[in-house]
Amino acid sequence: MATKFTKETYLYWYELMLLLRRFEEKAGQLYGMQKIRGFCHLYIGQEAIAAGCMTATRGEDKFITAYRCHALGIAKGITAKAAMAELFGKATGCAKGKGGSMHFFGVDVGFFGGHGIVGAQIGTGAGLAFAEKYKGTDNVCLTFFGDGAARQGMLHETFNLAMLWKLPVIFICENNNYAMGTSVERTSNVVDIYKLADAYDMPADSIDGMDPEAVHESVIRGVNRARKGEGPTLIEIKTYRYKGHSMSDPQKYRSKEEVEEYKQRDPIETSKEKLLKVFGVSEAEIEVINERVRVEVEECVKFAEESPWPSDDELLKDVYVDQNYPFIMD
């Protein structure tokens, strides 16, 4: 159980993962009460990915993901209040109540969505990386997608261009075994997704997504390569979602035993155990964190409940083009 990571890092990981878990659990509960409408995809079980990616990157780096976006958005810096308000469709939400569950956005913290079209964010992520390279920074972009999106043509076009131009992008496949309800084995001749990088001579890795240490170490290798101008990396992170694809998923494609098997490796519980046994953190200290998270989630729900709905004059704003577009248009 020895680790090269510090007590402070594990405390950060534990509190972040717990906040993401409790936020998502509350979102699921509120969805059942019809206070959250539309589609809703929960991140429960995958929290170690967000934790490891945060400690492997800087605040200036960019994140972009698909529609299972609540947790990564909060990890990157969107407040729990702004996140919950967005789920409620309120004006105080991170996308002014216009995006909802699938379209979180926080440009001020470097979070660029939240995208509902499967695989579309892969190309946009490369574009964000290109912008950083063009501006001469050493910032990187972490581009997240699921195992289902690995079958999209956008991925291959983007991999080719990213390698050709040595873009500072880390492609992260959150492989939770199922594209909605369809297993990787039923949809792909190549079941080891990281091997897709071979066609483009792109460095690649496959790691355990239930372990924040493994996530951190793999991501930071890719980040360091990108910062040095050596181009992209593909990381297949093998993870698992405890809940359905969305709130309407009956989950008939997997057994309860399979779910329970993964829960035995729960990253929140294993991190807590390490804090207690390796770092000598007391149960009382853990309870202080638990209570702090409980209060934060409680307060974000209250904030969302009490926030106003978007006004009618917001309907046609943010739809087409910024009236003060700052770039040359001719």
Question: For 239-254, what is the mean pLDDT?
Answer: 82
Q: What is the pLDDT of residues 77-126, one digit of tens each?
A: 999 999 999 999 999 999 999 999 999 999 999 999 889 999 999 999 99
* Residue ranges of domains in the chain, CATH in brackets: 7-286+295-314 (3.40.50.970)
Residue 330 pLDDT: 62
- The DSSP code for 117 is S
Helices (H) and strands (E) counted in the chain, each on its own, are: 11, 7
Calculate the average pLDDT of the chain: 93
Q: Report the distance separating Cα 140 and Cα 169, nearest Å.
A: 6
Sheet holding 169-175, edge to edge: 62-64, 141-146, 169-175, 233-238, 204-208
Task: Specify the pLDDT at position 325.
Answer: 65
DSSP state of 89: T
pTM of the model: 0.93
pLDDT at residue 129, rounded to an integer = 98
Per-residue pLDDT at 320 exceeds 80: no
The upper half-sphere exposure of residue 86, i.e. CA atoms within 13 Å in the direction of its Cβ, equals 28
Provide the percentage of residues in the chain whose pLDDT is more than 90. 80
The model's pLDDT over 216-225, given as tens digits with 9 standing for 90+, comes to 999 999 999 9
- How many of the other CB atoms lie within 10 Å of CB of 241? 22
Q: Mean pLDDT across the stretch 4-15?
A: 97
Quickly state the pLDDT bin for 20 (edges 50, 70, 90). very high
Relative orientation angle of helices 7-32 and 47-55, to the nearest 10 degrees: 140
H or E element, residue 75: helix 70-76
Computed from CA positions of residues 26, 19, 279, 274, in that sequence, does the dihedral angle turn out positive or negative?
A: positive
Let me know: does 174 contact 46? Beta carbons within 8 Å: yes
Please report the pLDDT score of residue 173 as a whole number: 97
Query: How far apart, in whole angstroms, are the C-alpha atoms of residue 120 and residue 245?
Result: 18
From the number of C-beta atoms within 10 Å of its C-beta (0-12, 13-18, 19+), residue 253 rates as middle
Q: Taking a C-beta distance cutoff of 8 angstroms, is the pair 321, 101 a contact? A: no
Which residues have CB under 8 Å from 11's CB, separation 6+?
Answer: 275, 281, 289
322 pLDDT more than 70: no
Q: CA quadruple 153, 48, 240, 102: dihedral positive or negative?
A: negative
pLDDT of 275-291, one tens digit each? 999 999 999 999 999 99
Question: Average pLDDT in the 228-236 region?
Answer: 98
Q: How confident is the model at residue 9 (pLDDT cuts 50, 70, 90)?
A: very high
Task: Identify the pLDDT of residue 2.
Answer: 75
